[in-house]
């Protein structure tokens, strides 16, 4: 186990709703990255937070937003849910933003279904 915990494990929402996913990073890790993993595909980078600031973003629209708290836990918020948002959302923590950021420790993910 990595020590990265995500909640909830499963979630069902309807199109147009909003959702908040939560992540507690591994002890000592100050960087959190969020990934979207569609069925049968590899994880796609959404964004990264370092010391409560967004530190890089992938090709996702602004309705995907996040927060990082002083204890380094993080939230992923998705507004105006679309059917294509159905996926496994993975949180990964890492030690820093430079050389030590390369090793990602993933949680088990939140499976989001949008109906």
Partner 1 sequence: QQQVKQSPQSLIVQKGGISIINCAYENTAFDYFPWYQQFPGKGPALLIAIRPDVSEKKEGRFTISFNKSAKQFSLHIMDSQPGDSATYFCAAYNTNAGKSTFGDGTTLTVKP
The residues that touch partner 1, with contacts defined as CB under 8 A, are: 2, 4, 33, 35, 40-45, 48, 55-56, 58, 90, 92, 97-99, 101-109
CB of 73 vs partner 1, minimal distance in Å: 16
CB of 17 vs partner 1, minimal distance in Å: 25
Cβ proximity of 64 and 46 under 8 Å: yes
CB of 16 vs partner 1, minimal distance in Å: 28
Cβ nearer to partner 1, comparing 50 with 114: 50
CB of 4 vs partner 1, minimal distance in Å: 7
Question: CB count, 10 Å around CB of 1?
Answer: 8
Cβ nearer to partner 1, comparing 9 with 17: 9
CA 6 to chain centre: 9
Cβ nearer to partner 1, comparing 62 with 99: 99
Distances in Å between the Cα of 31 and the Cα atoms of 4, 53, 87, 88 are: 12, 10, 22, 20
Distances in Å between the Cα of 59 and the Cα atoms of 46, 63, 76, 77 are: 7, 12, 15, 16
């Amino acid at each position: 186990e990595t020590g990265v915990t995500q909640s909830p494990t499963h979630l069902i929402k309807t199109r147009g709703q909003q959702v908040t996913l939560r992540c507690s990073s591994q002890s000592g890790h100050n960087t959190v990255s969020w990934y979207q993993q569609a069925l049968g595909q590899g994880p796609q980078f959404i964004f990264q937070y370092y010391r409560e600031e967004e530190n890089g973003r992938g090709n996702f629209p602004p309705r995907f937003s996040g927060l990082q708290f002083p204890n380094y836990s993080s939230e992923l918020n998705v507004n105006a849910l679309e059917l294509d948002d159905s996926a496994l959302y993975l949180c990964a923590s890492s030690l820093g933003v430079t050389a030590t950021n390369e090793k990602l420790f993933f949680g088990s993910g939140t499976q989001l279904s949008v109906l």
